[in-house]
Amino acid sequence: MRASALLLGATFLAASTATEVTPIQKVLQMMSEMKSKAQEEKEAEIKTFNEFTKFCRNTIRDKGYAIKDSTAQISKLSADIEDYDAKAAVLGKEINTLDAGVDQTEHEKAEATEVREKANADYQVTHADYAASLEDMAIGIEKLKKMMAAGGSAAAASFIQVMTSKFHMPTSARKVLASFLATSADLKALQPEQKGFESQSDGVVDMMKDLKDKMAEEKTTLETEEMNEQHAFEMMVQSFDNKIKKDTEQRNDKASTKKQMEQDSASAKGQLADTTNAKAEDEKYTADLTTMCEEKSADFEARQKLRAEELVAIDKAMEIIGDQGVAGAGSKHLPSLVQRKHTSFAQLRNNVQRPVQSAAATFLTAQGRMLKSRVLSALAVRVSADPFVKVRKMITDMLNKLEQEANDEADHKGFCDQELSTNEQTREEKTTRVAELTANIEEMTAATQKLANEIADLNKEISEIDAAVAKATEIRQAEKTKNTATIADAKVAIAAVEQATKVLKDFYAKAAGATALVQTRARGPADDVPATFDEPFTGTGGEGGVVGMLEVILSDFQRLEAETTSGEAAAAKEYEQFSTDSAEDRETKRKSAYHKGNEKSKVEHNIHLAKKDLAVTQKELDAALEYFEKLKPSCVDAGVSYEDRVAQRENEIESLKEALKILEGEA
């Protein structure tokens, strides 16, 4: 039956081509085009989703490899860190032992030095005493010779007594002299006779000479002992110094090795932190992407099901419109109506208008011209053309809509004032900060070198992230372009269905006495928001004959526009989340590359930090500028001032209320 209906519709279209296209022909043509377009979009959606699925599969696979590599690297770095720390601890204990040994040796050396210095000081004193005593002995011998030769025995005894009392005289010499004095209390006994004096005086002098020689021997012995003790001390000090040098060298070698172990451990810990962070970011990135891909997959399956149902609905609608009853009625009644070009359907309805309806239409027309209101002018035409039953509801709906718009615009005005003020402050702060960072970067100079293999790997991963973002952006742009086209097509379709509905309503009102279709209101510009996936379900089928089918078509086209709009918003949000996660992942890897370059110069480090800060600040500035551009259309570049719009809307509301009073006059 569907084939016969389509054939009948096509035959009817061919037969009427020479005269005028009837509403039935327009509906069949529109639905035929809708069917072809729906089939094409269904195939295009499959192709686009296959690309998206490929992107999901490849990206998740690559991230899995990266996570696996990070896990292996974390295990290795942890083992290295444990080994470095253990070796450093052992070396620390060995260093402490060597430090204690060096301290002990230095202490022993200091004690030995102190003993040696004290012994040497004693030696110097004793040696000086011997030298002074020997000198005194030499002088004393000569004096004694002279004294004894002159017969001065008393003087000689006194002289010997003086020498005995000298403080530097060795104890042994004092004892000899004292003993001599004790046994020779009076030197006179040494010379009782003149002739024996010479022999006795020679005995005193010989005693003095013997004492001098003995003291000289003692002095020589003292010097020899001192020399031997000094030599032994120097050998001991050399032994101490050798031990200190050896322990110090071992200590320094172990300290150098320990420092290297600590540096290796610190470097490995930095790499471990970077790798752990990178792994966590990769896992988060993979989880978010997996969720998004699963949601997209479920959405795709649902949309494909709706598209299949859409094709069935379009075929059913074409079958209903191409039915012999509908086509026959069109063939019988529409040509005569088409030939009456000078009499519109609105004029036919005006012939049976009620007086108050005409008065309300005239009032709204005048108010529309005076206030330059397209809303009132368009409503005046509707009031003039539509049945009386619908006019009051239509004006009431319009009145409610204007009051709601007034409330919404007041809220929007407060929102704009707050957001513009905050945005201006943000732009000024970020612009100043960008200028400061740029100036600081220009002042710093440094040479850069290619990073190690790990940094190159990170840069490769960053490039892969950029490529993934670029691919996602390409998919998003294609999706947005298609959704924008879908919204535009939906608006065109809505206008076409409304026109067809109006023609059929006039036809059935005269020919079949059918009830009037419910007038639909065009969607406002606030509904034209970016959508998510590809074109949603268009929705056709219906009940209650051609009029009911057309009402469902109109409703489905309106739903198509709304779902595409909301879908585009959801897709944009998902893309923004994906871009944010990618940016965070990219930033994490950039930081990791920076940490792996810690051994580079401080100047490079400062430049890197400045550039990082500049990138973040510039991004924030760009975001603030972009947000300002988004605010401008509705908050800055509105064209008409807020006060003028409020006054215009209040006048329109008062005019609508007055029109209602006119209509209620008859009621």
Place of tokens 């005289």: 169
Q: Report yes or no: 285 and 581 within 8 Å, Cβ to Cβ.
A: yes
Structure tokens at 381: 């035409």
**pLDDT at position 416, please?**
81
Angle between helices 197-321 and 324-339 (to 10 degrees): 80
Q: Report yes or no: 147 and 107 within 8 Å, Cβ to Cβ.
A: no
CA distance 648 to 533: 39
CA distance 541 to 391: 28
Q: Report yes or no: 655 and 367 within 8 Å, Cβ to Cβ.
A: yes
Structure tokens at 557: 């086209």
Determine the distance from the C-alpha atom of residue 346 to the mean position of all C-alpha atoms in its chain, rounded to a whole number: 64
DSSP assignment of 343-355: S-HHHHHHTT--H
Q: Report yes or no: 244 and 110 within 8 Å, Cβ to Cβ.
A: no
CA distance 659 to 379: 11
Buried b (16+ CB within 10 A) or exposed e, 33-60: ebbebbeebbeebeebbeebeebbeebe
**pLDDT at position 22, please?**
54
Which residues, other chains included, contact 507 with Cβ-Cβ below 8 Å and sequence gap of 6+?
23, 329, 330, 333, 334, 337
Place of tokens 């030197």: 187
Q: Please tell me whether residue 243 adopts helix, strand or coil conformation.
A: helix
Q: Please tell me whether residue 531 adopts helix, strand or coil conformation.
A: strand
**pLDDT at position 14, please?**
43
CA distance 607 to 355: 82
CA distance 26 to 506: 15
Closest by alpha carbon to 318, among 1, 17, 558? 1
Angle in degrees, CA 70, 74, 80, rounded to 5: 145
Residue type, 510: K
Radius of gyration of the chain (CA): 58
* The model's pTM: 0.37
Q: Report yes or no: 513 and 388 within 8 Å, Cβ to Cβ.
A: no
Closest by alpha carbon to 446, among 646, 581, 602, 214? 602
Surface-to-core class of residue 139, CB atoms within 10 Å of its CB (0-12 exposed, 13-18 middle, 19+ buried): exposed
Residue-range domain boundaries for the chain: 94-269
Residue type, 350: N
Surface-to-core class of residue 118, CB atoms within 10 Å of its CB (0-12 exposed, 13-18 middle, 19+ buried): exposed
Structure tokens at 199: 């022999």
545 Ramachandran zone, left/alpha/beta (phi>0; psi -120 to 50):
left
DSSP assignment of 112-123: HHHHHHHHHHHH
Q: Report yes or no: 577 and 284 within 8 Å, Cβ to Cβ.
A: no
Buried b (16+ CB within 10 A) or exposed e, 78-87: eebbeebbeb
Q: Report yes or no: 59 and 468 within 8 Å, Cβ to Cβ.
A: yes
Look up residue 526 and give its DSSP letter.
G
Residue type, 30: M
Q: Report yes or no: 493 and 561 within 8 Å, Cβ to Cβ.
A: no
> Which residues of the chain are under the pLDDT cut of 50?
1-19, 23, 186-200, 324-353, 507-508, 511-532, 534-546, 666-667
What percent of the chain clears pLDDT 70, i.e. is strictly above it? 69
Q: Can you give the length of the chain in residues?
A: 667
Q: Alpha helices of 444-530 — where are they, by DSSP H?
A: 453-511
**pLDDT at position 196, please?**
40
Q: Report yes or no: 458 and 506 within 8 Å, Cβ to Cβ.
A: no
